[in-house]
Each structure stands twice: as structure tokens, then as C-alpha cells.
A and B are shown apart, each in its own frame.
Chain A
Amino acid sequence: MQSPGDREGAAESGPEPPVSRAYLDSSSTEPLHPAARETLLAALDRGYADPRRLHHEGRDARLLLDNARAVVADCLGVRPREVGFTASGTDAVHRGLLGLTTDPDSSGIVHSAVEHSSVLHAVQWRDSPAHGRIPVDTLGRVDPYAVEQAAWADGVGAIAVQTANQEVGTLQPVDDIDPPPTVALFVDAAAAAGRVPLPRRWDVLAASAHKWGGPAGVGVLAVRGGSWSTPFPGEHDGLDAPGFANVPGALASAAALQAVLAEQEAVADRQFRQVERIRRALAALPDTEVLGDPVDRLPHLVTFSCLYVSGDELVTGLDRRGFAVASGSACTASTLEPSHVLAAMGALTHGNVRVSVSRDTTEDEVDRLCAAITEVVTEVRRSVGL
């Protein structure tokens, strides 16, 4: 075993730690909400048993799971039996969308060009000549009428449109889509759940708990309409994904959702203004595009692209100054392909950064971030002679 002295020695040889850190990547994952932490720790001790068993411990775990389901259902405005827990948000999207398109005569999916990769992967997986990809405008918004029109084509079984875009924050006009009577509306609410009011019109909805401050490994699948049936093998208990139930995770996710909804308006209002401030500072930076809708957007995130700078230089430069941010540029992706969202918008794909503030981001952090971005961009441009 290492002594504390050894660890100190190791730390000294590593890079100099910055004075303070600001986590500004809450769109990738929100830190665990205090309400979720408390519930998770209690439920780990109490909710370990198999909720399918008839003994006392099993019944206790079942009670916690039912409680989690009731809370999530209440938060989404649906009935408890319309809510299932899955292994992740991606799993919820796959089950949700593939479960609406099991009939080979109506397995086509009409979707926006800027859906999350989990939606695009489900579309690729479902072999159908009737799929339709609907372009977006320069703000990243899909035209609801174009979606609707495409959905009347033969062989279409489902429409898939996100509540808000995960990369640029633009809200999508889901409530303006009027699907043909035999076509189900699937909504990916992962980027928006807990942050803005959700659309009213949908048949199947997917979300991911770690995006709102719950633990990782919990997705939510809500089914209230359409002809949905499970697309995957396994024994099914309602809408829950098969396999051993993650009772503590589900309960902590429900507690986090309830807590973020209680504070949603106040947090969203503060975050909206912080992001507006960042957007203004970025607009003053030469050769920089601030992306997404400036008003009808998620409150907590802003994406921008800078000419002559690579995304990884920006991410590492800001990281060295204490800021954790994400990038959609090709050089930061495993595929070396630029973000399909930026490409579909016709936006500049290099020099791209996504900043997403947390519920405890301070005004001082916002000020320091704006100064740091200007510094890093200027430094990199100078190094290439521009």
C-alpha cells in the first residue's frame, strides 16, 4: 500500500493543478444532485433485494421501485404503469423507437437530421426503405410541417424528434407536429428533461437520469400511446428493461427529478442569463460563430465555433485554465468526422466548443470563462500566424 507521502511525491511530478476548477459540461452529464446522493445512499442499504421475490426484503425493494415509478410518472404527467426504467438513456431510445416499428409494413422512421446518435443508430438498425431524414435550418430547428408531410409516405411507422438539441440547445417545435393517425410520435427528451417544460404531444418518450443529476445507468421510457411492443428478447415486467432492477438508481433518479423540477424555474432563469452573458462576450470575438437559437433554447448551454483554431486546442487550453468544456469538432471525435449536428446546420465545424453551466455555476466563473476563451483563441491564432 502507498503511504500518503508517496502520493504527494507522485502529485508533484504531474501537471500543476489549476487554482480552481469549474465544471461546464453539464450537458454531457450533470453532477449528482444532493437529493439524489442522499436517496441513493439510503436505497443502497435498503433496496438491494430482488423486487420480484415475495419475502420481506423483496417486497421492500418492490415498494421503493414502485415509489420511484410513481414519482417519475407524476413528474412526466403520466400514469405509473406508463413508465419503465432502462439501463441508460440510449437503451430507452433504442427500446422506445424500435418498439414502435416492429411491424415490417410500417417500420419507417421520419426524423430530424440533428437527432442524438442513439436515435440515428436505431434508425440504421431498423432496415426500411421508408426512413426519412428531414433537414434543419441554420439554427438547428426542424420544420414541423416538413416532418408531418414526410410521415404520410407509405411504410412510415414513427416520427422521432427531440425536445431540444443536445449540442446547440435549440428547442424543437414538437407540439406543432400533427402526425398522421397511424404514425406514432417518439420524443427524445434527454437534453431537456428537468430543464424546460416538456412537449405535451407524444406517444413514447425517452430520457436519461444522469442528465438531470441522477446517477448514471438509469434511463426512463414512457409509453402512453402508439402500438409499442418490446423489440428485444427477455422476460418483461411492464415497460422495464429485463435484467435485475437497479432499485437504488431508479429511486435516486426520481428524487433528483423531483428536486430539479421544484427548482426548475429559478435555476433555468439564472442559467439563461449566464448563457446570454457568454453569448454576448463570444459575439465580440472576431471570426467566431455563436450557434443555435439565441432565445428559444435550453437555458444552460451555448455552442460556438472559431476560425483557425482546433476543437482540441480549445478544450485543452480551457482545461489548463480550470474549465471543463466539450467540443463537437472532428479532432475530438473517435471517428474524425465532424458533428452531424453542426454539419446539418451548415455551421463551422472546427474550433467548436460547447459550454453548459451547472446549477451551482457562479457569475465569477462565467466572467473568468469569457476571459479565458478570448485568451486561448488569441493565443492559438497567433501561433499559426493569423
Chain B
Amino acid sequence: MSARIEVDCRDQPCPRPIIELAKAFGELPVGGEVAVVARDPAARYDVPAWCRMRGQEYVGEGVTDTGDPLYVVRRTS
């Protein structure tokens, strides 16, 4: 099974969720995933934009058990 890291940025404003995503990404092996939990409305646009700019894969949006939005990124390089 591939590695998965969850980053909790529930109560953090933009661009914190993206900063934490970038930091978590450093520890991730290729093929691994980071799930960013963020209520900030900008995360919906900025996580996919980060993937495009950094050449990584945006897997999609989900919801946590507590009903918070979650954005998943896969490391491709």
C-alpha cells in the first residue's frame, strides 16, 4: 500500500493549507498521497493550481468524517 499523509489545516486561512501541503510533500515517496483538510474556500482552487504549477497529480476532492472538505494530491516525481 502506498504512503498517505493527512495534513490538518481545518482552521487555517489561505495560503497556509498550500504551505503545509508543500512541506508534507517533501517527506512523501513517489506514488504517495497527501490529503489536505481545509475549510478555507481558496483551497478548492489553489490545491489543483499547486499541482499544475509543480507538475504533480491532483486526485480530487473528498469529505472527512467531520464533514470538512479534503483535497488529495499524488506525488508523481
Interface set of A (CB-CB < 8 Å, partner B): 287, 289, 305, 307-310, 329-331, 336-338, 342-343, 346-351, 384-386
Q: Identify the stretch in B1-9, B40-48, B69-77 within 8 Å (CB) of chain A at 4 or more residues.
A: B40-48
A386 to B21, CA, bound (A): 11
By secondary structure, the A interface counts as: loop
A273 to B35, CA, bound (A): 43
Shortest Cβ distance from residue A282 to the other chain B in the assembled complex, whole angstroms: 14
Shortest Cβ distance from residue B37 to the other chain A in the assembled complex, whole angstroms: 17
Given contacts A346-B45, A349-B46, contact A309 B23 (CB under 8 A): no
Shortest Cβ distance from residue A346 to the other chain B in the assembled complex, whole angstroms: 7
* B49 interface residue per 8 A CB criterion: yes
A-B contact pairs, 15 of them (CB 8 A): A307-B18, A307-B22, A309-B15, A310-B13, A310-B15, A330-B13, A337-B41, A338-B45, A343-B45, A346-B49, A347-B45, A348-B50, A384-B19, A385-B23, A386-B22
Given contacts A307-B22, A386-B22, contact A348 B14 (CB under 8 A): no
Which B6-40 residues have C-beta < 8 A from chain A?
A: 13-15, 18-19, 22-23, 40
Which B60-74 residues have C-beta < 8 A from chain A?
A: none
Shortest Cβ distance from residue A157 to the other chain B in the assembled complex, whole angstroms: 32
Given contacts A346-B48, A348-B53, A385-B23, contact A336 B41 (CB under 8 A): yes
Closest to B14 in A: A350
Given contacts A386-B22, A386-B23, contact A308 B15 (CB under 8 A): yes
Identify 12 new A-B residue pairs, CB closer than 8 A, beyond the known A330-B40, A348-B46: A309-B15, A310-B14, A330-B14, A342-B45, A346-B48, A347-B49, A348-B50, A349-B14, A350-B18, A351-B15, A386-B22, A386-B23
Closest to A308 in B: B19
Contact pick for A386, options B19, B41, B49, B53, CB 8 Å? B19
Shortest Cβ distance from residue B23 to the other chain A in the assembled complex, whole angstroms: 7
Contact pick for B53, options A289, A309, A310, A337, CB 8 Å? A289
Given contacts A330-B42, A331-B14, A337-B41, contact A307 B23 (CB under 8 A): no
A350 to B21, CA, bound (A): 14
Q: List chain B residues, Cβ under 8 A from A336.
A: 13, 41
Q: List chain A residues, Cβ under 8 A from B19.
A: 308, 384, 386
Given contacts A349-B42, A350-B42, A384-B19, contact A329 B14 (CB under 8 A): yes
A309 to B46, CA, bound (A): 12
Asked whether B50 lies within 8 Å of A349 as measured between CB atoms, the reply is: no
Interface set of B (CB-CB < 8 Å, partner A): 13-15, 18-19, 22-23, 40-42, 45-46, 48-50, 52-54
Asked whether B22 lies within 8 Å of A308 as measured between CB atoms, the reply is: yes
Asked whether B49 lies within 8 Å of A348 as measured between CB atoms, the reply is: yes
Contact pick for B15, options A289, A307, A342, A385, CB 8 Å? A307
Q: List chain B residues, Cβ under 8 A from A342.
A: 45
Q: List chain A residues, Cβ under 8 A from B41.
A: 330, 336-338
Asked whether B42 lies within 8 Å of A338 as measured between CB atoms, the reply is: yes
A385 to B19, CA, bound (A): 9
Q: List chain A residues, Cβ under 8 A from B50.
A: 307, 348
A310 to B42, CA, bound (A): 11
Asked whether B13 lies within 8 Å of A331 as measured between CB atoms, the reply is: yes
Asked whether B53 lies within 8 Å of A307 as measured between CB atoms, the reply is: yes
A307 to B55, CA, bound (A): 14
Most chain A CB within 10 A, of B23, B41, B46, is at: B46
Closest to B22 in A: A386
Closest to A380 in B: B15
